[in-house]
Amino acid sequence: MRVMAQVAMVMNLDKCIGCHTCSVTCKQTWTNREGTEYVWFNNVETKPGIGYPKHYEDQERWRGGWVLDDRGRLKLRSGGKVKRLLGLFANPDLPSIDDYYEPITYDYDTLITAPAGRDTPVIRPKSALTGKDTAIKWGANWEDDLGGAAEHAAGDPNIAAMPKQAADKVRFEFERTFMFHLPRICEHCLNPACVSACPSGAMYKRAEDGIVLVDQNRCRGWRMCVSACPYKKVYVNHNTGKAEKCTFCFPRIEAGQPTVCAETCVGRLRYIGMVLYDADAVTAAASVPDPQDLLEAQRNLFLDPADPAVVSAALSAGVPRDWIDAAQRSPVYELAIRHKVALPLHPEYRTVPMVWYIPPLSPVLDAVSEMDGDNADPDQVFHGITQLRIPMEYLASLFAAGDTEVVAGVLMKLSAMRGYMRARTLDGTVAEELLAATGMSSMDMERLYRLLAVAKYDERYVIPPAHRETAAELAELGTGCSLDVPGGPGMGRVLLPLSVLPIKRNGEP
């Protein structure tokens, strides 16, 4: 067992109102420079929809993530090293600017310099790339609140992957449609395909906290990382020709502060914390044959930070004591591992993503009440869940590799928590049936409710600051390509410097 620490995030989709504050603040902080006009490290999509870039979840087209070969071993869907080297100068699996969108600006001078006249001057959209007049046809937020659903949402790859009977439930008529918002950042995976695909070794996973970054001095612009990332969260700066991606706001993390997107989130839906995991077991967990077993395999990677044996192994591996204490108070561990209400996005990509989501729960208690049912009766609550406007099959295609039982279990826990707290608040009774149906104790219910409903700032963000006294140990970058590191991509023992900036500013690293 090799204990390592990883910073991770959970997002509660029930709380996302689609205000895009996280996207705007991230944009202003990280990608407000020339060459990154089309780049959104954080974006908020409306589901169902084809997303940004278009159809990014269609891995038959983009060849992202991992698959198993005939011998059950992991290999990049984009091919082995030989295939990628042969296509080094002509990578066919790249989204075009049309798949993202052509960023635009306006000729504002027209408004200022136009002569007086009877007609109001008009400013035309101009491409931020070419400076020529252009038409606005797509954007990072084009489908917001199902704005483009009638025309595009039927092409959602998740709907295409659902059984026909389940896919037929998805309708886009006003009376029957459903929607929810899905904020996305880089997943900072434990088994990152982008790191393994990089021919120059510029992509790396920091050994101290697991954040995936790009060494701009090493990047040669091969763009294999863009193809390999199944979430399409690696971008190319068209000014420098180099890769850039979400940095998990690592300067803030090192100072014990949350990411900008989490700090400014209006709905307070993001949780950040440390988890401990067994690095030696990552490859095996990502290699289980059945995609629907990947979730449990990933959960089994995480170690109980309160276990004395784990604490001893972590200290022996160099994990600071205060980081272990933070892992013991981690909201990510609580939600994803202890209560099992948070799920990873597309675990079938086998990257072992570290940004988890609590699926959205429609007003199920109201639905039960409308049927003249008892919202404290687990059978009636479960029946209400099966009748939700958001089909469980759709949520399962996003968060559980199609396993509807996993999603139903999560929604049952969430709805049981609401029913339990409602009964306790209204008349002081304890809904024992709900506790028995979910296998949770009253203390579990209280803890889950507090974390999801009334958690304070320091409960949502449990982030230990970096240890500067170990800076001397972090003086060298690893020299080999990540593909050649024993134990899997990004799992090398070489620690990487905290001071390496992944993005150049004003020509300086």
Q: Which two tokens stand for residue 229?
A: 């990332």
Q: Is residue 152 a contact partner of residue 21, using CB atoms and an 8 Å limit?
A: no
At 506 the pLDDT is 37
Assign residue 243 a region (left: φ > 0; alpha: ψ between -120 and 50; beta: otherwise): beta
CA–CA separation, 242 vs 103, rounded Å?
18
- How is 175-240 classified by DSSP, letter by letter? TT---EEEEE-----SS-HHHHH-TTS-EEE-TTT--EEE-TTT-----HHHHH-TT--EEE-TTT
The DSSP code for 509 is -
Q: Which two tokens stand for residue 233?
A: 């969260």
pLDDT band of residue 495 (cuts 50, 70, 90) is: very low
Q: Is residue 345 a contact partner of residue 61, using CB atoms and an 8 Å limit?
A: no
CATH superfamily of the domain spanning 267-462: nitrate reductase domain like (1.10.3650.10)
Element of type H or E holding 405:
helix 404-427
Q: Token pair 């404290």 is at which residue?
A: 376
Task: Please write the tens of the pLDDT for every residue from 74-131.
Answer: 999 988 878 777 777 877 789 999 999 999 998 888 888 888 888 888 888 999 888 8
Among 436, 407, 406, which residue's Cα sits nearest to residue 419?
Answer: 436
pLDDT, the chain, mean: 86
Task: Please write the tens of the pLDDT for every residue from 250-287.
Answer: 999 999 999 999 999 999 999 999 999 999 999 999 99
Q: What percent of the chain has pLDDT over 90?
A: 62
Task: Please write the tens of the pLDDT for every residue from 299-349.
Answer: 999 999 999 999 999 999 999 999 999 999 999 999 999 999 999 999 999
CA–CA separation, 345 vs 338, rounded Å?
18
Among 130, 170, 238, which residue's Cα sits nearest to residue 392?
Answer: 170
Q: What percent of the chain has pLDDT over 70?
A: 86
Give the distance, in angstroms, between the CA of residue 371 and the centroid of all CA atoms in the same chain. 36
Tell me which amino acid residue 291 is: P
At 173 the pLDDT is 63
At 175 the pLDDT is 58
At 249 the pLDDT is 96
180-195 average pLDDT score:
96
425-441 average pLDDT score:
87
Task: Please write the tens of the pLDDT for every residue from 382-399.
Answer: 666 766 778 889 999 999
Global confidence as pTM? 0.88
pLDDT band of residue 509 (cuts 50, 70, 90) is: very low
Structural domain boundaries in the chain: 267-462
* Greater pLDDT, 178 or 353: 353
At 151 the pLDDT is 82
One-letter-per-residue 3-state SS of 432-497: HHHHHHHCCCHHHHHHHHHHHHHCCHHHHEECCCCCHHHHHHHCCCCCCCHHHCCCCCCCCCCCCC
At 176 the pLDDT is 67
CA–CA separation, 463 vs 271, rounded Å?
10
Q: Would the pLDDT of 38 be above 80?
A: yes
At 259 the pLDDT is 98
Assign residue 148 a region (left: φ > 0; alpha: ψ between -120 and 50; beta: otherwise): alpha
Q: Is residue 197 a contact partner of residue 186, using CB atoms and an 8 Å limit?
A: no
At 478 the pLDDT is 34
Helix (H, G, I), strand (E, B) or coil at 130: coil
Element of type H or E holding 268:
none
At 163 the pLDDT is 83
CA–CA separation, 277 vs 188, rounded Å?
14
Q: Which two tokens stand for residue 448?
A: 């889950």
* Greater pLDDT, 378 or 159: 159
209-214 average pLDDT score:
95
Q: Is residue 30 a contact partner of residue 234, using CB atoms and an 8 Å limit?
A: no
pLDDT band of residue 221 (cuts 50, 70, 90) is: very high
Query: What number of residues does the chain have?
Result: 509
CA–CA separation, 217 vs 47, rounded Å?
38
Element of type H or E holding 11:
strand 3-12
Task: Please write the tens of the pLDDT for every residue from 173-186.
Answer: 655 678 899 999 99
